[in-house]
Amino acid sequence: MKVTVNTLNKMKQDGQKIAMLTCYEASFATLLDEAGVDVLLIGDSLGNTVQGQSSTLPVTLDHMIYHTACVAKGTKDAMVLADLPFGAYQASPQQAFDSAVRLMQAGAEMVKLEGGMVMVETVDFLVNRGIPVCVHIGLQPQSVNLYGGYKVQGKTDTEAETLKRDALALQAAGASLVLMEMVPAAVATAVTGLLSIPTIGIGAGVNCDGQVLVLHDMLGIYPGKKARFVKNFMTGASSIQGAVENYVKAVKGSTFPAEEHSF
Ligand SMILES: Nc1nc(=O)c2c([nH]1)NC[C@@H]1CN(c3ccc(C(=O)N[C@@H](CCC(=O)O)C(=O)O)cc3)CN21
Ligand SMILES: CC(C)C(=O)C(=O)O
Ligand SMILES: [Mg+2]
């Protein structure tokens, strides 16, 4: 059955975990779809995994459109979610809408953008024009130059309060999903409890409503430095299909992430 925003909401209500993985092309899309992954994210992490860049900043809207079209072709049931890349949405709600339209026309069913309170107006603008939005808060890789590195966000009480306030405001603006990257597990748990829409974590502890990892990280084929939240699911699996099935099982059974993958 096709995964829609309604499916994801029902999964949260029923306490069923959402399994998300990044995907950048059609063959993997079919494999992940058949292994039971609920949401395929065309992440701008393709800058790192596909293009060999050291950040996501060089990724363009045209790159994202190309990979979104490839993934959409190979997907049957999973939801197709595409990242808006750096520079394609921050200038104005109008710019975000124009870029989101192009991703939706390439086959995306929801778009994701990075930012907290600053994106409230943009989320409202897109949702009122028919485009479902996932907001990416906590560590926002497109802001790496501002942070001076990929660091845990929301560690102080003030930062944790800002994260909660932002998540509530984005939900009120009409966001369908909240993705939290590298935030303390206790803070992600609090945000998940405050919201009626589902949360997806990466380095945000086991209590989020779902989990996401970069495909190349969970298959152990990314050559770069591994973040704490990464687990190689090829260990103990005899095929890529098996590794992905084990990831889906681990997310659904709340055995991933463990303490060692959380902050
Ligand atoms: N292959 C890949 N996986 C990712 O998860 C990912 C990308 N690429 N590209 C875009 C961003 C960048 N991300 C990153 C990159 C590095 C760390 C990292 O080095 N984390 C360390 C430091 C933690 C700290 O200083 O507090 C860690 O131990 O987790 C985390 C997230 C997440 N995203
Ligand atoms: C790491 C996930 C959440 C992402 O945004 C990406 O892959 O670009
Ligand atoms: Mg991204």
38 is in an annotated binding site: no
Mean pLDDT of the chain: 98
Decide: 123 and 84 in contact? Cβ < 8 Å: no
- DSSP 3-state helix, strand, coil percentages of the chain (rounded to 5)? 45, 15, 40
Q: What does the pLDDT look like over 205-242, one tens digit per residue?
A: 999 999 999 999 999 999 988 899 999 999 999 999 99
Confidence of residue 170 (pLDDT cuts 50, 70, 90): very high
Q: Which residues pair with 189 in a beta bridge?
A: none
Segment 193-215 mean pLDDT: 98
pLDDT at 225: 86
Domains, the chain, with CATH or none:
5-261 (3.20.20.60)
The verdict on whether 109 is a catalytic residue reads no
Whether the CB of 50 sits within 6 Å of ligand 1: no
Mutational test site, ligand 1, from 150, 153, 213, max ligand atoms within 8 Å of CB: 150
* CA 85 / ligand 2 centre spacing (Å): 11
**Whether pLDDT at 18 is above 90:** yes
Q: How far is CA 63 from CA 41, 50, 53, in A?
A: 14, 11, 13
Instruction: Give the ligand whose atoms come closest to the C-alpha of residue 41.
Output: 2
Identity of residue 128: N
112 is in an annotated binding site: yes
Burial class (CB in 10 A: 0-12, 13-18, 19+), 80: buried
Mutational test site, ligand 2, from 212, 217, 229, max ligand atoms within 8 Å of CB: 212
pTM, whole model, 2 decimals? Answer: 0.98
| CA-proximal residue: ligand 1, atom 14 (nearest) | 150
Whether the CB of 43 sits within 6 Å of ligand 2: yes
Q: Which residues pair with 113 in a beta bridge?
A: 135
Instruction: Give the ligand whose atoms come closest to the C-alpha of residue 42.
Output: 2
Alpha carbon 187 to its chain's center = 18
**What is the b/e burial string over 14-38, where b = at least 16 CB atoms within 10 angstroms of the residue's CB?**
eeebbbbbbbbbbebbbbbbebbbb
Looking at the chain, which runs of residues are DSSP E strands?
18-22, 39-42, 79-83, 110-114, 133-138, 177-181, 199-202, 210-213
* CA 258 / ligand 3 centre spacing (Å): 23
Of the listed 181, 245, 259, 260, which one is catalytic? 181
Segment 106-129 mean pLDDT: 99
What CA–CA distance (Å, rounded) separates 191 from 177? 12
Whether the CB of 48 sits within 6 Å of ligand 2: no
pLDDT at 224: 82
